[in-house]
Structure 1
Amino acid sequence: MDNRQLRAFVALAELGRYHLAAERLCITQPALSKQIQAIELQLGTRLFERGRQGALLTANGEALFPRARELLTQHEQFHQYQLQVVKGEAGRLALGFGLSSFHLAPQLVAAFRQRFPQVVVGLEDLPSERQCQLLLAGKLQAGFVRLPVPAPLQAQPLLSDRLVLAAPRTMALQAENLLADFSLYPLLQLKPSRGRGLSEQALRFIAVQGLRANVVQQAEDIQTLLALVAAGIGVALLPQSIAFIAPAGVDILPLSGEQTQWQVGLAWDPQRPDALRDNFVQGVISSPLALQGPV
């Protein structure tokens, strides 16, 4: 029984009159009769008793009717969902983000899901370099990354982040004395394999300022670096956005000069058609939230 026949069976069962069922289906009564006869021939059983009272379900018809109506409802629901998917209003959206977008990305995702509640969003914390690899491989649909991005990826700038020095509060350091005494402080670093962009930013800052670094330890993630700083092990060059996650006992001291600032944006691969991703990108670009963040 195909969907056309299923609709005919359910319509006649619900309305009990051929002319009413035909009107609902926008077909003629003879056409409806042929469809019902074809169903009965296919199943090898009568589904309706024809009489002066119209079309009444037989025992077999009564048994099949609830399931037929359920299947028809499911098909109609699937059709509606299919249309939503094609228009980018339903489905699954795989996104990446990093520390610089730690505050902004969840807000933009929440605003998007208010508009498109049928979308399931996956949000994964990944270094920018890894996000770009996954975008090119089609494993992510969009990502909040450090700019610029490699071709053929496209990006929309959203905010700026900058380097700060995270120091133990017990050191009571002053911003104006940082650079003069920089080599005196034990420096903690993020392993380049865990955050190449941040590592290279810190190295460029040290080089352009003519500083000497006393590196004593490297860590796998920024949370570990902050824990080491809070424990008084040393200082670390980190993004200003650590303010969102810094533990008690850590002072965040601003830095100025060259190589202290970078842009963060939303990146995607325009060579991969994706209506859902495009709806998200347009929502981000037009959102006033995109104007917020560290500057």
Structure 2
Amino acid sequence: MDIRLMRALVLAADRPTFSEAATALSITQPAFTKQIQQLESLVGMPLFRRGRHGSVLTAAGSALLADARAIVELADRFEARVKRMSSGDEGYLAVGFGLSSIAVAPRAIAAFRSAFPGVAVRLEDMSSAAQIEGVRRGDLDIAFARMPAPRDLCAVPVLSDRLVVAYPEAWDVPPEALSPAEWLQAHPLVRLSPGRGPGLAGQAGRYLADVGAPFDVIQEADDLQTVLALVAAGVGAAIVPESARNIAPSRVSMHRLEGESAAWTIGVIWRADNATPVVRAFLEELARISER
């Protein structure tokens, strides 16, 4: 059934004349009358009694009006929702992030929620490798993950991070007192388990290999907060991202590590075939935040 015919029935019932109903639809009266006649032909009986002073619903027209009105209202709501979704004003967005993006990702989400309150957002903390797989599977729409991104995905760099040595502030000899290799050889390390943070483990491993520092890991933990708590307790030092300053206990000091292998870039990553209006709206909002 053509929704236009049901809309014509509703408008004809709500207005005194077919002429006024036709004006409401921005069509000519003959075109409107033809729509009513098409509907009457389908029903097999007249829906209006037409006279010199306008039109009045017949019993058949009255019987169909309530259903027609409900369908037209539902169609209007559907059309309005489609427009909101096509403009990015409504929908769903799944975003992955890691420690390196803990400052920018929540800030971007907050700004996006404010600009697009009709979009439901899910934010998940996971490693870069898990985020990449999530984007590929379609579980995530956006990832804040380590660059370079795989060639089958789209990416834009958004921030940089680097390695630091986190150590108890009570230790007498800070890292800057010796060369990095000498200092790291002289102190036991606590680390995030490679399974939980493969990106960090790989970055730290490359740095240690570059400076020629053998290392002694005496404790592993499954989250970075626990790693930093162990450092604060004096169990050992840890090589962590500089962004971990945001969550480090007050009793933990940090020293930046230099060199190419100590730094990396975080990008926002998505699938080209998943560039929905909501995804595009988020990327535009992130670009605005980055410009501030």
TM-score calculated relative to the size of structure 2: 0.84
Mark the CA change 1:75 to 1:172 in structure 2 (over 3 Å): closer, same or farther.
farther
Aligned-pair Cα RMSD in Å: 2.9
Mark the CA change 1:166 to 1:66 in structure 2 (over 3 Å): closer, same or farther.
farther
Give secondary structure in 2 for the equivalent of 1:192: coil
Counterpart residue type for residue 14 of structure 2? E
- In the TM superposition, 1:243-258 aligns within 5 A as 243-258=245-260
Mark the CA change 1:163 to 1:41 in structure 2 (over 3 Å): closer, same or farther.
same
Give secondary structure in 2 for the equivalent of 1:234: coil
The residue that corresponds to 1:72 in the other structure is 72
Q: How many residues align?
A: 290
Instruction: Report the Cα distance in structure 2 between the residues aligned to 1:57 and 1:167, rounded to whole angstroms.
Output: 84
Counterpart residue type for residue 92 of structure 2? R
Deviation at 1:31, TM superposition (A): 4.1
Could you tell which deviates more after superposition, 263-272 or 12-21? 263-272
The residue that corresponds to 1:129 in the other structure is 129
Instruction: Report the Cα distance in structure 2 between the residues aligned to 1:274 and 1:242, rounded to whole angstroms.
Output: 33
5+ residue gaps in structure 1?
none
Deviation at 1:232, TM superposition (A): 2.8
Could you tell which deviates more after superposition, 84-93 or 233-242? 84-93
Deviation at 1:4, TM superposition (A): 0.7
Deviation at 1:187, TM superposition (A): 1.0
5+ residue gaps in structure 2?
none
- In the TM superposition, 1:59-208 aligns within 5 A as 65=65, 68-171=68-171, 174-177=174-177, 179=180, 180-208=182-210
Q: Deviations over 1:7-37 (max 9, x none)?
A: 1112112212111112222344344344335
Instruction: Report the Cα distance in structure 2 between the residues aligned to 1:56 and 1:247, rounded to whole angstroms.
Output: 78
Instruction: Report the Cα distance in structure 1 between the residues aligned to 2:114 and 2:30, rounded to whole angstroms.
Output: 48
Give secondary structure in 1 for the equivalent of 2:272: coil
The residue that corresponds to 1:3 in the other structure is 3
Deviation at 1:239, TM superposition (A): 0.5
Alignment check: 8 A CA contact 1:96 1:131 kept:
yes
Deviation at 1:60, TM superposition (A): 6.8
Give secondary structure in 2 for the equivalent of 1:13: helix
The residue that corresponds to 2:236 in the other structure is 234
Could you tell which deviates more after superposition, 173-182 or 7-16? 173-182
Deviation at 1:273, TM superposition (A): 4.9
Instruction: Report the Cα distance in structure 1 between the residues aligned to 2:155 and 2:162, rounded to whole angstroms.
Output: 19
Instruction: Report the Cα distance in structure 2 between the residues aligned to 1:134 and 1:47, rounded to whole angstroms.
Output: 56
Instruction: Report the Cα distance in structure 2 between the residues aligned to 1:236 and 1:63, rounded to whole angstroms.
Output: 77
Could you tell which deviates more after superposition, 90-99 or 193-202? 90-99
Counterpart residue type for residue 276 of structure 2? D
The residue that corresponds to 1:277 in the other structure is 279
Alignment check: 8 A CA contact 1:167 1:173 kept:
no
Deviation at 1:136, TM superposition (A): 2.5
Instruction: Report the Cα distance in structure 1 between the residues aligned to 2:109 and 2:79, rounded to whole angstroms.
Output: 26
Instruction: Report the Cα distance in structure 2 between the residues aligned to 1:143 and 1:210, rounded to whole angstroms.
Output: 33
Alignment check: 8 A CA contact 2:176 2:255 kept:
no
Alignment check: 8 A CA contact 2:128 2:145 kept:
yes
Give secondary structure in 1 for the equivalent of 2:139: coil
The residue that corresponds to 2:227 in the other structure is 225
Instruction: Report the Cα distance in structure 1 between the residues aligned to 2:117 and 2:222, rounded to whole angstroms.
Output: 36
Alignment check: 8 A CA contact 2:175 2:183 kept:
no
Could you tell which deviates more after superposition, 1-10 or 45-54? 45-54
Identity among equivalent positions (%) equals 42
The residue that corresponds to 1:290 in the other structure is 290
The residue that corresponds to 1:210 in the other structure is 212
Instruction: Report the Cα distance in structure 1 between the residues aligned to 2:42 and 2:234, rounded to whole angstroms.
Output: 81
Alignment check: 8 A CA contact 1:164 1:238 kept:
yes
- In the TM superposition, 1:260-271 aligns within 5 A as 260-270=262-272
Counterpart residue type for residue 20 of structure 2? L
Instruction: Report the Cα distance in structure 1 between the residues aligned to 2:160 and 2:230, rounded to whole angstroms.
Output: 26
Counterpart residue type for residue 256 of structure 1? E
The residue that corresponds to 2:23 in the other structure is 23
Counterpart residue type for residue 116 of structure 1? F
Give secondary structure in 2 for the equivalent of 1:211: coil
Counterpart residue type for residue 279 of structure 2? R
Instruction: Report the Cα distance in structure 1 between the residues aligned to 2:230 and 2:64, rounded to whole angstroms.
Output: 68
